[in-house]
Amino acid sequence: MLKFTEEHEWLNIEGDVATVGITAHAAEQLGDLVFVELPEVGASFSKGDDAATVESVKAASEVYCPLDGEITEVNEAITADPALVNSDPMGAGWFFKLKLKNVSDVDGLLDESGYKELIG
């Protein structure tokens, strides 16, 4: 199940784990990424916490934790090659996997049509 936040993160939900990344729209707005800082595996976050940082030639930006949970895995490939986020933001450019504290919180996120409406 694919969900989105108003802060331009996407979540692919499988059971109680969400794979999280930034949307193609966000990657396009940021421009070419030159640096990605990921959270530590085992770290717990609340919805809206700064979970990761991205830097592009244009600006630095935070990637927010979309829901309450614990980081179970990070994508080291994007720290070695931040351009992966630009070339495949919804695939190989994922940021982290989050074990959700409360799976029902997913219901408060946008579906694909809601996100497309948000970005116009």
Domain hosting 84: range is 2-115
**Is 26 part of a structural domain of the chain?**
yes
**Is 11 part of a structural domain of the chain?**
yes
The CATH number given to whatever domain includes residue 68 is 2.40.50.100
Question: How close are the terminal C-alpha atoms of the chain, in Å?
Answer: 22
pLDDT-above-70 percentage for the chain: 100
**Is 120 part of a structural domain of the chain?**
no
**Is 88 part of a structural domain of the chain?**
yes
**Is 43 part of a structural domain of the chain?**
yes
**Is 95 part of a structural domain of the chain?**
yes
- Render each residue's pLDDT in the chain as its tens digit; 120 residues: 999 999 999 999 999 999 999 999 999 999 999 999 999 999 999 999 999 999 999 889 999 999 999 999 999 999 999 999 999 999 999 999 999 999 999 999 999 999 999 999
Q: Measured between alpha carbons, how far is 5 from 108 in angstroms, rounded to an integer? A: 9
CB distance 99 to 72 below 8 Å: yes
* Domain count across the chain: 1
